[in-house]
Amino acid sequence: MEYKIIKKDKVTSTNDILKNNAEKYEDKTVLVAREQTAGKGRMGRSFYSPPTGLYFSVLLKDIKSNPTSLTIIAAVAVMKGIYETFGISAQVKWVNDIILGSKKICGILAEGVFSGSRISHAVVGIGINISTKEFPDEIKDIAGSLEKDSNNSDILLHNILKNFDEEINNSDSKSYLDFYKKNCLTLNKKVRLLVNDNSYEEGFAFDIDDNANLLVKKESGETIKVFFGEAKVI
C-alpha cells in the first residue's frame, strides 16, 4: 500500500485542501486532521469535526471509478475497518452514511477535481465520530459515535486504507458491491427520495446496479435509477 500520510492538527476541510491544491500533492496522498473548522458534508451541509473523531481525505489521480462508486468502495472499507479495529458491525444507508444502531457515525464525501470539463482527479473524504458525546442541536437526534477511545484512530485509519486499497485494486470484480448490498439498510425497504427541497418520490428500493445507482420501483410499476440525493427509509 503506497499511501503518503500527512497529519495536521487543525484544518478547514481536508477535502478542500486536497481539492484546491491537487497539483501540489502526489497521487494517493492522505491528509488527516485532528480537527476541522469547516468540515463539509454532501448537499452543502457541514460536518461537525471536533478532536474526538477521525477526519481524512485521499487524493486519487488515476481514477477508474465514478464518484458514486468511490463512495461505495469507501463505505465498504470503513465498515470492514471498523469491524477489524473494534469488532463492531456497522451498516450503510445508501449512499454514504455509516450507521450504528439508528445513529449516523460516519459520512463520506467523494468529489471530482475538474480540469476543464473532465474529471482529472478525485478526493474521497471520510469523517468518523469515534468518541464524540455531544453534538450540536441540529444533529443531536441523528448523530452518534463508535463510543471507543479516539487514541485508536491510527489503527482505524490504517485498517480503512488497507481495505480501500484492496477494494480499489480489485474494483473490476465489483466484489465490493456484494458486501455493500449485504450491509445496506436501504435495500428491500420502502423509501422516500428527496428530489429537491419541495418534492419527493416514493417507492421500493430493490437493488443497486453496477454503477452504484439505487433502483427504486414506484407504485405505478415504473423503475427509477437514483444516482444522487437521499433515500429515507419510511
Residues that bind ligand BTN (CB under 6 A): 13-15, 36, 39-42, 45, 47, 55-57, 96, 107-109, 125-127
**What are the C-alpha distances in Å from 84 to residues 58, 71, 73?**
20, 20, 16
- What phi and psi, each to the nearest 5 degrees, are found at residue 208? -125, 125
Distance in Å, CB of 123 to ligand BTN, minimum: 8
Distance in Å, CB of 94 to ligand BTN, minimum: 13
Distance in Å, CB of 41 to ligand BTN, minimum: 3
Q: How far apart are CA 85 and CA 162, in angstroms?
A: 12
Q: How far apart are CA 1 and CA 139, in angstroms?
A: 36
How does DSSP classify residue 70?
Answer: H
Distance in Å, CB of 33 to ligand BTN, minimum: 7
- Position closest to ligand BTN via CB: 107
3-class secondary structure, 216: strand
Q: Indicate the residue among 185 and 204 with the shorter CB distance to ligand BTN.
A: 185
Q: Give the number of other Cβ atoms within 10 Å of residue 203's Cβ.
A: 22
Q: Indicate the residue among 5 and 204 with the shorter CB distance to ligand BTN.
A: 5
Distance in Å, CB of 157 to ligand BTN, minimum: 12
Q: Indicate the residue among 41 and 217 with the shorter CB distance to ligand BTN.
A: 41
Q: Indicate the residue among 25 and 55 with the shorter CB distance to ligand BTN.
A: 55
* Residue linked to cell 425497504: 189
